[in-house]
Chains A and B, each alone.
Chain A
Amino acid sequence: MAIIKLPERKITDLKDVCKSFNNEKGELINVLHKAQGIFGYLPAEVQEVIAKELNLPVAHVYGVVTFYSFFTMTPKGEHPISVCLGTACYVRGSEKVLEEFKRLLKIQVGQTTADGKFSLSCLRCVGACGLAPVVMVGEKVYGRVSPDGVKDIVEEFNN
């Protein structure tokens, strides 16, 4: 198997994160949150470092990572697009909005465009049901998005 080298500095950061939680097993989820903050995602190597620091089997860490939808093992795009499929958004047509993103970006949910610019995911309710349907690009929230409006959103980040 190919050995991927993580940047030394980031590994040190990661170990510091573990240490900040006293290398306690029970803090695994907190550590994973921080690790995803550092690396943007949780590749196998990162999970292995965490396992070692927290003295946990790496299978256990992987079991936890794959349980929670917030954690991902694939790097996200520069502009991660999330379409809300919560009930309020759904009844107001967010599925069509999602279809339009898939069509325009030529990717499926969970994938990243070839140029690494966009990734597409679904999420369940950001608590902005009044603005349904809601789309998030990074931290930015777009409300009352129609399928026609999808093109404009993509273009906004394409320049």
Chain B
Amino acid sequence: MELIKLTIDGKPVEAEKDTTILKAAKTVGIDIPTLCYFQLKDMNIENRPGGCRICVVEVKGRRNLAPACTTLVSGGMEVNTHSIRVLNARRTVLELILSDHPAECLTCAKSGSCELQSMAQQLGVREIPYQGEQSTYRKDTSPAIIRDVDKCIMCRRCEMMCNEVQTVGALSAVNRGFMAVVAPAFEMNLEKSTCTYCGQCVSVCPTGALTEVDHTRNVINALADPAKTVVVQTAPAVRAALGEEFGLEPGTLVTGKMVAALRRLGFDYVFDTDFAADLTIMEEGTELLDRLTRYLEGDPSVQLPILTSCCPGWVNFFEHHFPELRDIPSTAKSPQQMFGPIAKEYFAKKLGIDRKNMIVVSIMPCLAKKYECQRDEFKVSGDPDVNYSISTRELAAFIKLANIDFDAMPEEEFDKPMGESTGASVIFGTTGGVIEAACRTAYELYTHKKLAKVDFNELRGFESIRHATIDFNGLLLNIGIAHGLGNARKLLEDIKEGKSQFHAIEIMACPGGCIGGGGQPYHHGDSAILKKRASALYREDAGKPIRKSHENPFIISLYKEFLGAPGSDRSHHLLHTKYFDRSASVFVEE
């Protein structure tokens, strides 16, 4: 490939054709500040509308300044990234952005993680000379996400995530000029839109315009109530990311410290959602085998592929966008929602307490879980199976609030019995993990043989859509995997058109799976962080003594003692759900 020679700040640079000034500068250690620009390299996600104009640089011979994020290098180009003209322009542009931004840093949920705040710090803004009217909008609180778009700086990252990556289409740029902002149709509440609460908009928002609904206070109140037994469950992806909030290297596993901290926060029982993930595999795996067997026997009432259903963002997505396919996903509840009834219908009874006096809290990498636990079908006489779901970020803040020195925490074990889990359930937190866990169990149940090799490397990776064929002792099972709802959409379109070749498909709404969930510590566009989180989970799996869900001793005894068998009436009653058509329009009666 022909290399282009140019100079940046006097330094000679060689770059490939079609490289932007921004990227070329990085290769020689020049870090041009950006605001609207966003990239998740390994996910093919890029946002470069060239809108904020913070990254402008001076190019010799050019009339005006050039945005480094979108201007391509050319031969002989002389770039200056910090001339007085550039510095003045960059600062003025930032002052303008700040002049239309509420000065609420002290009370803003995003304070400390806000990219606009850091930028003001970096550029040394000490006053805002251009005061004037601020654009203000209605604040919108949905079950999972708060939109406070007075703080929107029109970087368009959320719009890109919602439309290009997730193809949800709940958000769009609306209005024009000074009042332009990103909003749902008719600027109505997010709750009325097709939003799936995947939270990817929140995870990329540079400011506090999009944040999660914080339920920490409810949890604190429950913990303070002596009449309540408070049970907590933690999702697999949390342990691979929580440490980042305390300055630990991304990919550091903090399972034991997390358990210790939760105990010190006052939870009566610290359990693991992983246990429920094993349960999910039992139910979902059985359903898969059942459907598959009947399908192979020629039962015309059976539809394949079977789709996983543990991701609530994904469930919301097909209920809104593909309601006609809602018979295809497994009816198994998500691990969070399987945990709830086992806690309240089984464990509470064992303890001899009324389910109303048990509060189940979940720690999730996810914002859609907040909505999921509020669904009516997951309540018994108004009492939710899972009372509150808080995100990884909220847990970190809670730990700090309680004066707990996280790094000094000892490694502790989950409580029994619902803290027992296998390696299979740990990898639920990353793309490909659920289907790998299902294969480990389904293979052995179907073939009645022991797996020679537990790892299914062919199912792992970060590619957006993957497929693999697994040999079930002669039965070739075609597996599809998609992460990111836009990729899921492609597989669904194929199913709709009858073109799908898959027997089973795993779908996770967030790029990377739960490790990249909307409730995780902000990655600020560093996809290496996501990879490190994923490998942490695979590491934990590899180190577990038991790595197949059906070998989890508590799962075995739970079926024996309480549930009967996978797919039994009681299992169906407690562990399966149904889906709804949510495509109905808001305004038009048809």
Contact = CB atoms under 8 A, between A and B. Distances in A.
A57 B176 contact: no
Nearest to A64: B172
Given A59-B169, A60-B169, A1 B193 contact: no
Contact of A59 (B172, B587, B588): B172
Contacts of A57: 163, 168-170, 172, 185, 194
A66 B175 contact: yes
A142 interface: no
A58 interface: yes
Contacts of A69: 176
Contact of A63 (B172, B192, B585): B172
Interface in B159-216: 163, 168-176, 183-186, 188, 192-194
Contacts of B192: 1
A52 B585 contact: yes
Contacts of A51: 185
B104 interface: no
Contacts of B163: 57, 60
B589 interface: yes
Contacts of B184: 59
A6 interface: yes
Nearest to A67: B176
A100 interface: no
Interface in A1-54: 1, 3-6, 11, 44-45, 47-49, 51-52
Contacts, number: 64
A59 B188 CA distance: 10
Chain A contact residues: over half helix, strand or loop, or mixed?
A: helix
Contacts of A48: 185, 585-588
A59 B589 contact: no
A59 B585 contact: no
Mostly helix, strand, loop or mixed at chain B's interface? loop
Q: How large is the interface on A (under 10, 10 to 19, 20 to 34, 35 or more residues)?
A: 20 to 34
A44 B193 CA distance: 13
Contact of A3 (B171, B173, B589): B589
Nearest to B192: A1
A56 B176 CA distance: 20
A55 to B, nearest CB: 10
Given A1-B192, A44-B186, A47-B185, A60 B172 contact: yes
A42 B100 CA distance: 30
A6 B588 contact: yes
A59 B176 contact: no
Contacts of B588: 3, 6, 11, 45, 48-49
A90 interface: no
B587 A66 contact: no
A23 to B, nearest CB: 17
Contact of A61 (B168, B185, B193, B589): B185
Nearest to B587: A45
Contacts of A47: 185-186
B245 to A, nearest CB: 33
B129 to A, nearest CB: 30
Nearest to B169: A57
A66 B586 CA distance: 19
A59 B185 contact: yes
Interface in B81-97: none
A11 B588 CA distance: 10
Contact of B186 (A4, A56, A62, A67): A62
A119 B554 CA distance: 72
A57 to B, nearest CB: 3
A59 B585 CA distance: 13
Interface centre among A3, A49, A57, A59 (most CB of B within 10 A): A59
B589 A5 contact: yes
Contacts of B188: 1
A47 B588 CA distance: 10
Contacts of B585: 48, 52
A73 to B, nearest CB: 8
A3 B185 contact: no
Nearest to B321: A57
A66 B176 contact: yes
A62 B185 CA distance: 6
A12 to B, nearest CB: 12
Most B CB within 10 A of own CB, among A44, A47, A56, A63: A63
A48 to B, nearest CB: 5
A6 B590 CA distance: 10
Lowest 9 CB-CB distances: which A-B pairs, in order? A57-B169, A63-B172, A59-B172, A59-B185, A58-B185, A62-B185, A45-B587, A66-B174, A66-B175
Given A6-B588, A57-B170, A60-B169, 13 more contacts: A3-B589, A5-B589, A47-B185, A48-B588, A49-B588, A57-B163, A57-B169, A57-B185, A58-B169, A59-B183, A62-B172, A62-B185, A63-B173
30 contacts: A1-B188, A1-B587, A3-B587, A3-B588, A4-B587, A44-B185, A44-B186, A45-B588, A47-B185, A48-B585, A48-B586, A51-B185, A56-B169, A57-B163, A57-B168, A57-B170, A57-B172, A57-B185, A58-B185, A59-B169, A59-B185, A59-B193, A60-B172, A62-B186, A63-B173, A63-B174, A66-B174, A66-B176, A67-B175, A67-B176
